[in-house]
Amino acid sequence: MSVTRSRPDTDASLVADIEIESSSRVVNDVELHVVTAGDPDAPLVVLLHGHPDFWYGWRDQIRPLVDAGFRVVVPDQRGCNLSDAPDGIDAYRLSELVADVADLIDSEGRESAHVVGHDFGGFVAWNLALRRPSLVDRLGILNVPHPTVYRETLRSSPRQLLRSWYVWFYQLPKLPEWLLARNGMDNMVDSLELTSNPETFDQGTIDRYRAAWEHTGIRPRIHWYRGFRRSERPPRTSVTQPTLLCWGEDDVALVSSMAERSMEYCATGRVRTFPDASHWVHHERDAVTDALLDHLS
Residues with catalytic roles: 119, 225, 279
Q: Which residues of 25-39 are buried (b: 16+ CB within 10 A; e: fewer)?
A: bebbebebbbbbbbe
DSSP-assigned letters across all residues of 110-123? -S-EEEEEETHHHH
Rounded distance, CA 141 to CA 138, Å?
Answer: 10
Least Cα distance to 57 among 208, 259, 214 occurs for 208
End-to-end Cα, the chain, rounded Å: 41
Specify whether the CB–CB gap between 7 and 81 falls below 8 A.
Answer: no
Specify whether the CB–CB gap between 6 and 54 falls below 8 A.
Answer: no
Please report, as a single letter, which amino acid is at residue 285: R
Beta bridge partners of 114: 45
Please report, as a single letter, which amino acid is at residue 172: L
Least Cα distance to 47 among 13, 72, 19 occurs for 72
Least Cα distance to 219 among 47, 92, 29 occurs for 92
Task: State the sign of the Cα–Cα–Cα–Cα dihedral 142, 232, 224, 257.
Answer: negative
Beta strands in the chain (DSSP E): 20-27, 30-37, 44-48, 71-75, 113-118, 136-142, 243-248, 269-274
Residue 209, Cβ neighbours under 10 Å: how many? Answer: 21
